[in-house]
Amino acid sequence: MPDGWGRWIRCGAGWYRILARLEERLRTIDPDYRVHQIKEKFGTLRFYWTGRNYAVGKTAVADAETESARTCEVCGSPGCLRTRRGWLRTLCDDCANTEGYEHLPDDDE
């Protein structure tokens, strides 16, 4: 992670590789971009930033947020959306079992 990002990051280490790739992409689009907040919300990554070429950069951000929806926030393995008492997280089977999360019910259930 880039120096100084620690104060902005409020998500699990399993998404750090996604953030590192996003940082590389944004840095090529605008070397002076600024991060305002990085967090988990409703089980997926949220990345708030400003900079030049925002239209191009927002595609990179959307790609990272989409990738987080299939990546365990804890360990980085493939995962899916899980629930526990109304809270949502994207987790692999092992991390979900450890933390007491269950598969999100299908719409037909």
Q: How far is CA 13 from CA 5, 29, 30, 64, in A?
A: 13, 25, 25, 14
- Answer whether 24's CB lies under 8 Å from 40's CB: no
How far separated are the first and last CA of the chain, in Å rounded? 41
At residue 105, the pLDDT reads: 75
Residue 92 lies in a domain: no
Residue 104 lies in a domain: no
- State which residues form the domain around 46: 5-78
Q: Tens of pLDDT along 24-61?
A: 999 999 999 999 899 999 999 999 999 988 899 999 99
- Answer whether 81's CB lies under 8 Å from 69's CB: yes
Number of domains observed in the structure of the chain: 1
φ, ψ of residue 37 in degrees (nearest 5): -165, 145
At residue 1, the pLDDT reads: 52
Residue 94 lies in a domain: no
- Give dist(CA 23, CA 33) in Å, integer: 10
Residue 59 lies in a domain: yes
Q: Mean per-residue pLDDT for 63-89? A: 97
Residue 101 lies in a domain: no
Residue 52 lies in a domain: yes
Residue 70 lies in a domain: yes
